[in-house]
Chain A
Amino acid sequence: MTAARALRDSGIIVWRQLVQLPRIPEVLIFSLIQPVMFVLLFRYVFGGAIATPGESYVNYLMPGIFAQTVAFGAVASGIGLAEDLRRGIIDRFRSLPMARSAVLVGRTVSDLVRNAVVVGVMYAVGLAVGFRPEGSIGAQLVAFGLLLLTSFAFSWIGVVIALSMKTVEAVQSAGFIWLFPLTFASSAFVPTDSMPGWLQAFADNQPFTIVVNAARALFLAQPVGNYVWLTIVWMVGIIAVMIPLATRQYRRRSG
Chain B
Amino acid sequence: MDARADSALAVQAEGVRKSFGKTEALRGVDLSVPRGMVYGLLGPNGAGKSTVVRILATLIRADAGTALVDGVDVARNPATVRSRIGLAGQYAAVDEYLTGRENLEMFGRLSGLRKADARARATELLERFDLTDAADRPSKGYSGGMRRRLDLAASLAARPPILFLDEPTTGLDPRSRLTMWSVIQDLVDDGTTVLLTTQYLEEADRLAQRIAVIDRGVVIAEGTPAELKARVGGEGLEVAVVEPGDLERARTIVSRVASDEVFVDPERRRVRAAVADGPRALADVAGQIAAEGIPTEDVGLHRPTLDEVFLALTGRPAEDDDGAAAMDEGSG
Inter-chain contact A94/B58, CB cutoff 8 Å: yes
Also in contact, A89 and B95, with CB within 8 A (given A9-B110, A254-B54): yes
A21 (CB) vs chain B CBs: closest residue: B97
Task: Choose one: B82, B94, B97, B154; the contact of A24 (CB below 8 Å).
Answer: B97
Q: Which of A22-59 contact B (CB under 8 A)?
A: 23-24
- Distance in angstroms from B149 CB to nearest chain A CB is 15
Contact B111 A98 (CB under 8 A): yes
The answer to whether residues A88 and B54 also contact, given A95-B59, A255-B59 and a CB cut-off of 8 A, is no
Of B83, B86, B93, B138, which contacts A87 at CB under 8 A?
A: B93
B332 interface neighbour in A20, A24, A95, A255, Cβ under 8 Å: A255
Instruction: List residues of chain B with CB within 8 A of the CB of A94.
Output: 58-59
Contacts of B110 in A (CB 8 A): 9, 12, 93, 96, 98, 102
Interfacial chain A residues near B98, Cβ < 8 Å: 16, 19-20
> Given the complex, which residues of B lie within 8 Å of A15, measured CB to CB?
106
Query: Is A124 among interface residues, defined by CB-CB distance under 8 A?
Result: no
| Number of chain B residues whose Cβ lies closer than 8 Å to a Cβ of chain A | 34
Residues from chain A with Cβ under 8 Å of B91 in the complex: 87-88, 91
**A248 at the binding interface (Cβ < 8 Å):** no
- The contact of A97 among B54, B112, B155, by CB within 8 Å, is B112
Q: How far is the CA of A202 from the CA of B305 in the complex (A)?
A: 72
A109 to nearest B CB, angstroms?
16
For B155, list chain A residues within 8 Å (CB). Answer: 92
Residues of A within 8 A of B (CB-CB), count: 25
A89 to B107: give the CA distance in the assembly, Å: 11
Q: How far apart are B157's CB and chain A's nearest CB, in angstroms?
A: 9
State whether B94 touches A89 (Cβ < 8 A): yes
Instruction: Choose from A20, A87, A97 the contact partner of B111 (Cβ within 8 Å).
Output: A97
Q: Which B300-332 residues sit within 8 Å CB-CB of chain A? A: 329, 331-332
| A92 CA / B92 CA spacing, docked (Å) | 10
Chain A interface residues toward B at CB < 8 A? 1, 9, 12, 15-16, 19-20, 23-24, 85-89, 91-98, 102, 254-255
Interface residues, chain B, with chain A CB atoms under 8 Å away: 54, 57-60, 79, 82-83, 85-87, 89, 91-98, 102, 106-107, 109-112, 138, 154-155, 158, 329, 331-332
Taking A88-B89, A98-B110 as known contacts, 10 extra A-B pairs with beta carbons closer than 8 A to each other, sorted by chain A number, are: A1-B79, A12-B109, A16-B95, A16-B106, A91-B59, A91-B91, A91-B332, A93-B110, A94-B58, A97-B158
